[in-house]
């Protein structure tokens, strides 16, 4: 009897100690140190790999940091006093990091995240269980929202390219318009969403060959003319649904090489290849979103003003070696490679600016304004 009372007193003292503000602060510090330490280890390991294998460097392996963060949160929940919500949170964070790693390594396409929007009602279900968990104070019910989100991610990951997913017949569509005499300038807006986008040149006003998901109408094209100027808007029809990864929208769009174009491209979640070398382009504005972007500039216009805004992507810019290049760069977690283009840093005032020698007096110029998130950015001459 006395022994049992002693154990109860010991448990009461331990509980009182755990509830002491000093213990809670020390416990919080220990968890924070564990998370910070594992993140530092992952960053160091990635940078070390980047030194020896640049092609498999930071821009491909950065999701490992998120995986390490998830692992640290999982382990921190197992440090007494146990917090069973932490391991689930850690698994969720680690799952997101793993899918992002599959994205950067090319195993899973980036459009996974856009197509995931189709499962948004799951968030309402998770919110409902979260409210029930708060009302009933039941740990199992409270844990269900996180479990539901984890299960949804895994379901989407395996369903998108799995045998349960029906194939969708792709439809080929061609839309074109003959060249119009008297047209000197043009504005073209390309609003893409998911898939593969190629832009080139033609002797026609425009020529679009598209492969769509069973929609015989193809992309929506709005055309207008005012005097010697034309406006062209090419827009993808809304179709945020699940498709197999070997099925994707493909656009091959060619624009007239006899018109001075101002281009705006919303690439969305795509692999984009913009060959502007034969086009007369005075300005181009590219919103890269997620995916890969390749842009090849020409020298038909005396100066090209280009603005490129990328999220999580790989971006390769090719410019003629005879053109002067200025690059204004605002980068996040990005790796930059200038190859042999000869760009030198000339100023840094919040943004980093690079120029080739003699840029101010060059007869042909490419002025790049680049804002990157997590990206691999390469500028090279040809």
pLDDT at 199 over 80: yes
The verdict on 363 and 274 lying in the same domain is: yes
Tell me the residue range of the domain where 247 lies. 169-256
Band of the pLDDT at 351, cuts 50, 70, 90? confident
Q: Would residue 357 count as lying in a domain?
A: yes
The verdict on 19 and 148 lying in the same domain is: yes
Q: Would residue 126 count as lying in a domain?
A: yes
Q: Would residue 10 count as lying in a domain?
A: no
Lowest mean pLDDT among 12-26, 124-138, 166-180: 12-26
The verdict on 19 and 154 lying in the same domain is: yes
Band of the pLDDT at 247, cuts 50, 70, 90? low
Q: Which tokens hold the place of 196? A: 């593969």
CB distance 91 to 70 below 8 Å: yes
In three-state secondary structure terms, 345 is strand
Report the number of distinct structural domains present in the chain: 3
- Of 106, 138, 159, the residue at which a domain comes to its end is 159
The verdict on 105 and 144 lying in the same domain is: yes
DSSP E strands in 249-302: the ranges are 250-256, 260-266, 269-275, 280-296
The verdict on 45 and 80 lying in the same domain is: yes
Backbone φ and ψ of 10, nearest 5°: -65, -40
The verdict on 82 and 23 lying in the same domain is: yes
**pLDDT of res. 30:** 64
Q: Express each pLDDT in 6-42 by its tens digit.
A: 555 555 444 444 444 554 555 566 667 777 888 888 8
**pLDDT of res. 160:** 64
Q: Which tokens hold the place of 291? A: 């995916």
Q: CA dihedral defined by 129, 130, 132, 136, rounded to 10 degrees? A: 130
By percentage, how much of the chain surpasses pLDDT 90?
Answer: 37
The verdict on 154 and 194 lying in the same domain is: no
Q: Would residue 211 count as lying in a domain?
A: yes
Q: What is the mean pLDDT of residues 75-102?
A: 83
**pLDDT of res. 375:** 67
- Of 159, 183, 207, the residue at which a domain comes to its end is 159
The verdict on 32 and 144 lying in the same domain is: yes
The verdict on 153 and 174 lying in the same domain is: no
Q: Would residue 54 count as lying in a domain?
A: yes
What value does the mean pLDDT of the chain take? 82
Q: Would residue 113 count as lying in a domain?
A: yes
**pLDDT of res. 4:** 57
Most confident of 99-103, 104-108, 182-186: 182-186
Q: Which tokens hold the place of 200? A: 């080139």
**pLDDT of res. 16:** 47
**pLDDT of res. 53:** 67
Q: Would residue 87 count as lying in a domain?
A: yes
**pLDDT of res. 270:** 80
- Of 234, 256, 278, the residue at which a domain comes to its end is 256
Specify the higher pLDDT residue, 87 or 205.
Answer: 205
**pLDDT of res. 11:** 53
The verdict on 152 and 220 lying in the same domain is: no
Q: Express each pLDDT in 266-306 by its tens digit.
A: 988 788 999 999 999 999 999 987 778 999 999 999 999 99
**pLDDT of res. 254:** 97
**pLDDT of res. 261:** 97
pLDDT at 164 over 60: no
Has this prediction a pTM greater than 0.75? no
The verdict on 96 and 198 lying in the same domain is: no
CB distance 302 to 282 below 8 Å: no
The verdict on 45 and 113 lying in the same domain is: yes
Specify the higher pLDDT residue, 292 or 186.
Answer: 186
Q: Would residue 67 count as lying in a domain?
A: yes
**pLDDT of res. 115:** 72
Please name the helix (run of DSSP H) or strand (run of DSSP E) that holds residue 69, with its range, or none: helix 63-76
Work out whether strand 220-226 and strand 206-212 pair parallel, antiparallel, or are unpaired.
unpaired
By percentage, how much of the chain surpasses pLDDT 70?
Answer: 80
């Amino acid at each position: 009897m006395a022994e049992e009372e002693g154990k109860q007193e010991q448990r009461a003292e331990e509980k009182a100690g755990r509830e002491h503000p000093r213990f809670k602060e020390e416990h919080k510090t220990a968890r924070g140190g564990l998370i910070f330490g594992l993140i530092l280890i992952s960053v160091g390991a990635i940078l070390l790999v980047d030194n020896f294998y640049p092609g498999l460097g930071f821009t491909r392996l950065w999701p490992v940091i998120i995986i390490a963060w998830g692992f640290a949160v999982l382990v921190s929940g197992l440090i007494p006093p146990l917090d069973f919500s932490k391991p689930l949170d850690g698994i969720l964070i680690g799952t997101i990091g793993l899918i992002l790693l599959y994205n950067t390594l090319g195993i899973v396409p980036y459009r996974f995240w856009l197509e995931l929007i189709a499962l948004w009602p799951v968030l309402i279900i998770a919110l409902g269980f979260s409210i029930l968990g708060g009302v009933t104070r039941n740990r199992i019910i409270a844990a269900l929202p996180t479990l539901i989100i984890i299960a949804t991610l895994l379901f989407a990951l395996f369903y998108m390219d799995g045998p349960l997913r029906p194939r969708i017949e792709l439809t080929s569509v061609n839309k074109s318009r003959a060249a119009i005499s008297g047209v000197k300038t043009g504005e073209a807006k390309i609003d893409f969403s998911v898939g593969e986008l190629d832009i080139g040149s033609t002797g026609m006003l425009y020529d679009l060959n598209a492969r769509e998901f069973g929609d015989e109408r193809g992309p929506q094209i709005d055309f207008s003319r005012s005097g010697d100027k034309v406006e062209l808007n090419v827009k993808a029809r809304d179709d945020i649904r699940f498709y197999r990864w070997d099925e994707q929208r493909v656009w091959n769009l060619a624009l007239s090489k006899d018109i001075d174009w101002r281009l705006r491209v919303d690439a969305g979640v795509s692999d984009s290849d913009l060959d502007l070398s034969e086009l007369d382009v005075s300005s181009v504005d590219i919103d890269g979103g997620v995916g890969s972007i390749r842009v090849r500039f020409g020298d038909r216009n005396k100066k090209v003003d280009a603005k490129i805004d990328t999220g999580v992507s790989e971006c390769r810019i090719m410019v003629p070696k005879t053109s002067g290049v200025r690059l204004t760069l605002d980068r996040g977690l990005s790796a930059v490679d200038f190859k042999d283009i000869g760009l030198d840093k000339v100023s840094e005032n919040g943004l980093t600016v690079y120029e080739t020698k003699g840029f101010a007096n060059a007869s042909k110029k490419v002025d790049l304004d680049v804002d990157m998130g997590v990206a691999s950015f390469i500028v090279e001459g040809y």
